[in-house]
Amino acid sequence: MADLAIRLRGVVKRYGAITAVDGLDLDVPEGTCVGLLGPNGAGKSTTMRLLTAQAIADEGELEVLGFRLPEESKQARAQCGVVPQLDNLDTTLTVEQNLLVFAHLYRIERSERREAIERALEMSKLVGRRDARVDKLSGGMRRRLLIARALVHRPRLALLDEPTVGLDPQVRQELWALIDALRSEGTTILMSTHYIEEAQRLADTVLIMSHGSAVAAGPPSDLVLEHAGHEVLEVYGPPARLAEVEAEAGAAGMRTRRTGTSISILGVDGTNGFTIDGERRPANLEDVFVLLTGEEIA
């Protein structure tokens, strides 16, 4: 088995009466991309902060790149790149100055600094904007710079906290290409997201979090198969009808989930005796996500 870039066992983090992370186990094998998927408030961001020792766990074991946290966190951080959820670039500096500062913070040798900055500019396609001040950049460019800044020292492990949150679809796809390129170079990636499509496209394995702990883990396709089967029957109708369908499917031992305007009956593969009319479609990760993390918005 490959070495683990991240290994968490029974990690607990409390804020007063709130338990943000509640007995979390997490394995990220080196060279893979793991998606941390969960609704808002599931504990994804707290988990990310624990990995850089910006939050200290109350219980449990944490190892990052073989270093024990929090004692050896600095060594681990030297080989990690962190893309925060909230933009914290120096807005009055230029693109290149932002990269220069982090080339220093990540201790890149003087002789290699120039080259590292050029590589980061090229990777993020910001070569033409190197002298532009950050506050003059578009939202997408700022995100690309935020990622380039985290990768300037070629980290072994990239921690991406909601890397595409709040961006339009075009920009999101651009960033996916960037993250995918990083993955194909062999960088280990842990990415938190609440966009299902993002996890499905980029992650080798997905860990679904709810209320601070893992409720399922595995490759996206396996999770879909295990929890939602091959096909889903989607039934539309007025709320009263949906409630009826829900009861009927429940009586037949089928799992269902609400989708707002319809109800989805999961795992209808080869169910012939089933009489309810609806549209059949392939099961997807969203079905699993809603099934496992609950339909109520906390």
Partner 1 sequence: MATAEARGAHLGRLERSALTGVLVREAVNYSSYWKSSTFSSTVEPTIYLLAFGFGFGSLVSTIGGYDYVDFVGTGTVATAVLFSSAFPAMFGTFVKYQFQRTYDAILAAPVDTEELVTAEALWIATRAGVYGCVPMLVAMVFGLDPSWGMLAVPFIGWVAGFGWACFGISIAGYAKSFENFNYVVSAVLTPLFLLAGSFFPLDNFPQWAQVLANLNPLHHCVVLVRHAVFGWDGWKDLARLGALAVFGLLVWRIAIHAMTRKLID
Q: Which is nearer to partner 1, 62 or 288 (CB)?
A: 62
Segment near partner 1 (CB under 8 A); pick from 54-62, 117-125, 220-228, 238-246 = 54-62
- In this chain, which of 104, 114, 230, 281 binds partner 1, going by CB under 8 A? 104
User: Would you count residue 77 as binding partner 1 (CB under 8 A)?
Assistant: yes
User: Would you count residue 132 as binding partner 1 (CB under 8 A)?
Assistant: no
Q: 145-180 burial, b if ≥16 CB within 10 A, otherwise e?
A: bbbbbbbbbebbbbbbbbbbeebeeebbebbbebbe
Nearest-angstrom CA–CA distance, 22 and 193? 19
Tokens read off for 55: 């939050």
| DSSP sequence for 207-259 | EEEETTEEEEEE-HHHHHHHHH-SEEEEEE--HHHHHHHHHHHHHTT--EEE-
Segment near partner 1 (CB under 8 A); pick from 81-89, 137-145, 178-186, 233-241 = 81-89
Nearest approach in angstroms of CB 196 to partner 1 is: 26
Residues with Cβ within 8 Å of 128's Cβ and at least 6 positions away in sequence, in order, are: none
Nearest approach in angstroms of CB 131 to partner 1 is: 13
User: Would you count residue 165 as binding partner 1 (CB under 8 A)?
Assistant: no
Please answer whether residues 215 and 44 qualify as being in contact, where contact means their C-beta atoms are separated by less than 8 angstroms.
no
Binding mask 9-38 for partner 1 (x = CB under 8 A): ----x-x-----------------------
Segment near partner 1 (CB under 8 A); pick from 70-78, 187-195, 205-213, 256-264 = 70-78
